[in-house]
A and B are shown apart, each in its own frame.
Chain A
Amino acid sequence: MKNPYRPIKAEVLDVIEETPTISTVRFKPEESITFATGQFVEITIPGVGEAPFTPSSKPSEKKVMEVTVMKVGKVTKKIHELKKGDVIGVRGPFGKGYPVDDFRDKEILVVGGGCGFAPLRSLMYELFHRSGQFKKLFFRGGCKTSKELVFKSEIDTWAERKDLDLKLTVDVGDSQWKGNTGVVTTILENIDMDCASGIAIICGPPIMMKFATKKALEMGFKEENIYLSMEKNMSCGIGKCGHCRLGTYYACKDGPVFTYDKIKNFSNIWD
């Protein structure tokens, strides 16, 4: 029988500092792992422990994977100290990602906040990869300050794309920031799309998800077309350990991506 708790050995290829607190680790698992965008993996630091991350890399890239990690706890601190050649472990992928096939011929609005940028980069790669299949693509992103904006140079190239309408905002502006200031919902106004038939994808800190979801409903998106990536305290990844329960679901196997209609009746979903 397959052992679901055993990590696969992986070699660190590179560690890229995105911001002082956020780094991207590029690694190569010994056995190739294919994931759908939005699914997550568990990364092991030998002798320290394990933590869940949604890959930020291209799902189509089969041999190498990237996770973008904010320094918040024991494991993430060690991840920041990794060097090329170090050995880590990886388990997964787990759960259900974005059903990109179902987005065919639709207009898509992607809303990202702070930490939500990492999983969304992977999604954007996939959407760009299949760009012709969708009617229109919008990206609206926000973070606290311009210093906390990850993938800056990459997002600059997104801004040039003809198939994407992109707008960014920061909560608090500074001298270097030329764009919009204000929370992300302020750049959700006047978007030229048919919300009633469109798809909204929201990923970020809970408070941002809460308000962006409220806004999306006001804009006319259908509950079943609002996709939310729910952060829970994942451990086993397979619906056994009980840590990530969300109402009658486990975020690890039934999510982490849920449509709003599935979870709206559970209590305190944003806590």
Chain B
Amino acid sequence: MIKFISHNNFIRLLAQLNKDYRVYVPVKREDKRFYGRFENTPTEDIVIGEVRAFEPLKAFFFKGREKVADGFKADMPSSGDKPFAIVGVKACDLKGFKVQDYVFSAKSGTTPDGTNNDDTDPFYLQMRDKNLIISSDCTCVIDTCFCLALGVKPYPQDDFDINLSQINGGFIVESSSEKGEKVIQQNLSLMEESTKGKLSERDKQRDKVVKQIEKNIQENDIPSQKVFEGIIEKNYDSGIWEEEAKTCVECGACNTICPTCHCFLLYDQKDAKKMARFRIWDSCMVKDFARVAGGANPRHKLWMRLRNRFEKKFDFFPKVANLYACTGCGRCISACPAKIDIRKVLKKLVDNKK
């Protein structure tokens, strides 16, 4: 279903949603956007369009630290809070869902040689099921954006409940799930028909942003995923890894900020009287990540761990799930204190003839 909503009515819609959900909207602080709780009054700093938020969307579904067992009790620990409605999610983060969904659902139980198991992470799946995603088109780009190189368009095409395209006077509202459809139905009085003229305004706006990203990609000389096949295998023993890892300080920021990184650690509270287990984000860049109890460490050198990070994204995921586990969001580029730039690494990997 496709409708149009004016700016004023959009704020009313958010207030309406706030009854059933905890509504989060992107809020601008200096030159960055962060998800903030919508408190029923419109503020100047709410930015629905523009570009992705600073923090990855995964943080709502797969929290940095979450209690997953409470004593030996059979029932799952739950907060009982209202679900989230997250507004202004961008297309790159929706691609992140493709990876996270694959990992935490039973999909990852099927391996290339046909073996099967159906284990799921019920905490993640429950969040995915309950929460509402209201995505939006990007209306500008920042210099680290390279989504198109990973096949992601700067406007959502699937994996949302409702999408918003900002045009003059308001937004085009489009649903892509039953849940989203229902929200529109329940708030029809706030909506208007979307006319042909409005839709072509949206398309023009989309084209404009696509061109800006194409320019970004060209200026920074970023290779496209069309030439990624085999880049890890071909460069497995190359010197690129050691060279790139030279300045890395093993902080793990590249992992925690990444919308596709899913690795975690099960951590037990240090209190013998009360068993409590937390699922905490982990980082494959950290030395002990793969170390076994006996002491052997398959990736004892930092460059091996850097290589592993790329191997996971550009070799493992395409092989098991038929997708590159990078969205082109550029977060790891800005987060890295060592200025290791994934775009440049990819370029080197593609160019190395060996």
Contacts and interface: CB of A to CB of B under 8 A. Distances in A.
Nearest to A237: B119
A20 interface: no
B294 A44 contact: no
B294 A72 contact: yes
B266 A1 contact: no
Given A9-B72, A47-B275, A240 B289 contact: no
B294 A115 contact: yes
Interface in A55-113: 70, 72-73, 75-76, 89, 96
Nearest to B319: A248
Contacts of B271: 47
A74 to B, nearest CB: 9
A254 B316 CA distance: 14
A2, A75, A76, A242, most chain B CB atoms within 10 A: A242
A46 interface: yes
A87 B298 CA distance: 34
Contact of A262 (B113, B273, B316): B113
A155 interface: no
B195 interface: no
Interface stretch (B212-220, B276-284, B326-334): B276-284
Contacts of A73: 293
Contacts of B266: 5, 50, 235-236, 241
Nearest to A96: B115
B126 interface: yes
Contacts of A48: 268, 270, 272
Given A1-B120, A3-B76, A3-B122, A242 B263 contact: yes
A206 interface: yes
B155 to A, nearest CB: 31
Tell me what chain B mostly uses at the interface: helix, strand, loop, or mixed: loop
A233 B120 contact: no
Contacts of B263: 241-243
Contacts of B126: 1
A50 B119 contact: no
Contact of B108 (A7, A115, A206, A239): A239
A271 B269 contact: no
A46 B271 CA distance: 7
B353 interface: no
Contacts of B272: 46-48
A247 B316 CA distance: 7
Contacts of A243: 263, 265, 282, 289-290
B292 A232 contact: yes
Given A6-B72, A262-B113, A236 B291 contact: no
A200 to B, nearest CB: 21
B269 A47 contact: yes
Nearest to B68: A5
A240 B103 contact: yes
A7 B69 contact: yes
Interface string A4-26: 11111100000000000000000
19 contacts: A1-B122, A3-B75, A4-B120, A5-B277, A6-B74, A44-B268, A47-B272, A49-B267, A89-B275, A235-B265, A238-B117, A239-B103, A240-B108, A240-B119, A241-B263, A244-B290, A248-B111, A253-B109, A262-B113
